[in-house]
Amino acid sequence: MARKIGSRYTANQILGRGSAGTVWLGEGPEGPVAIKLLREDLASDQELVGRFVQERTALLGLEHPNVVSVRDLVVDGNDLALVMDLVRGTDLRTRLDRDRRLAPEAAVAIVADVADGLAAAHAAGVVHRDVKPENVLLDMQGPLGPGGSHPALLTDFGVAKLIDSPRRTRATKIIGTPDYLAPEIVEGLPPRAAVDIYALATVLYELLAGFTPFGGGHPGAVLRRHVTETVAPLPGIPDELWQLIVQCLAKAPASRLRASELGTRLRELLPLVAGMPPLDVDEPDAEPAEDETPAAEEAAPRDEEVRRRGAVPLVPGAKPADSNRDTHTSMRVPAPDELAGGARGTARVPRAAGAPRPGSARHRAVARRRRVALGAAAVVLAAAAGVGAWLATSEDDAGATPQDMNNTAPATP
Ligand X SMILES: Nc1ncnc2c1ncn2[C@@H]1O[C@H](COP(=O)(O)OP(=O)(O)OP(=O)(O)O)[C@@H](O)[C@H]1O
If the CB atoms of residues 269 and 314 are measured against ligand X, the closer one turns out to be 314
Instruction: Compute the least distance from the CB of residue 45 to ligand X, in Å.
Output: 17
If the CB atoms of residues 86 and 181 are measured against ligand X, the closer one turns out to be 86
Cα 223 to Cα 291, 297, 359: the distances in Å are 16, 11, 22
Give the active site residue among 116, 130, 164, 322.
130
Instruction: Compute the least distance from the CB of residue 204 to ligand X, in Å.
Output: 18
Within 34-53, which residues bind ligand X (CB under 6 A)? 34, 36
Instruction: Compute the least distance from the CB of residue 278 to ligand X, in Å.
Output: 23
Q: Does 130 qualify as catalytic in the annotation?
A: yes
Site string for ligand X, 121-160 (x = CB under 6 A): -------------xx-x-----------------xx----
**Total residues at interface with ligand X (CB under 6 A):** 26
If the CB atoms of residues 329 and 407 are measured against ligand X, the closer one turns out to be 329
Cα 325 to Cα 5, 111, 181, 308: the distances in Å are 24, 22, 17, 9
Contacts by 186-190, CB closer than 8 A, 24 or more apart: 186/223, 186/224, 186/226, 186/227, 186/333, 186/334, 186/339, 187/227, 187/333, 187/339, 188/333
If the CB atoms of residues 21 and 278 are measured against ligand X, the closer one turns out to be 21
Within 301-360, which residues bind ligand X (CB under 6 A)? 314, 323, 325, 327-328
Instruction: Compute the least distance from the CB of residue 266 to ligand X, in Å.
Output: 23
Instruction: Compute the least distance from the CB of residue 55 to ligand X, in Å.
Output: 16
Q: State the catalytic residues.
A: 130
Residues of the shown chain interacting with ligand X in the complex, contacts defined by CB under 6 A:
15-21, 23, 34, 36, 68, 84-87, 91, 134-135, 137, 155-156, 314, 323, 325, 327-328
